[in-house]
Amino acid sequence: PAENLLYIADSAHAPYGDLSPERIRDRSERITRHLVEHGAKAVVVACNTATAIAVEHLRTLYSLPIVAIEPAVKPAVHRTASGTVGVLATSATLASPRYAALLARYGDRARVVAQACPGLVERVEQGDWDCVATRRLLHDYVTPLLSAGADQLVLGCTHYPFLRGLIEEIAGPGVEVLETGPAVAAELGRRLAAAAMLA
């Protein structure tokens, strides 16, 4: 709570899920350089797609703590009662080697069904969080996961928590919706404390 925050949304280049890996790495490198030049002592890559494509590259360039974000598959597979977990994410995140590695680590404990969600980031960026078009998109993306038996829905994009209420409404009371923000904040605090840099 005592930290000063520098934040870059990079809305001009959203959605990252539609960019090439090279473009995502370039944007991530430029943004990180800007943050470091303006005094950042740690960086949170608060984008699943940028994490999947660029975080390892960034860690080769900078020695400061770089905290990544990834879909909450691990807690979801531990919490599922039905044995099926649904993941809502961008196409780039789902196609990345990092997501494949995440599935390799935890996918044997439950059936993980992924759903790419083109168009959702744009709806959030435009502030259309509860319009007919957004509801239609979400219904089309969430319904197949529910039909597959998912009782855990993982929000695999940092834009999607803005739609959490609508997702919960569509999914119904028997489905838990998971996001990674609190876990990322806790990890950042832990890393800063371990490096004696916590304000």
Active site residues: 47, 157
d(CA 137, CA 182): 26
Instruction: Tell me if residue 67 falls in helix, strand or coil.
Output: strand
190 phi/psi in degrees, rounded to 5: -65, -45
- b or e along 15-36 (b: 16 or more beta carbons within 10 Å of the residue's beta carbon)? bbbbbeeeebbebbeebbeebb
DSSP letter at 96 equals: S
| Nearest alpha-carbon partner for 62 in 91, 36, 38 | 36
d(CA 102, CA 191): 21
Residue type, 27: R
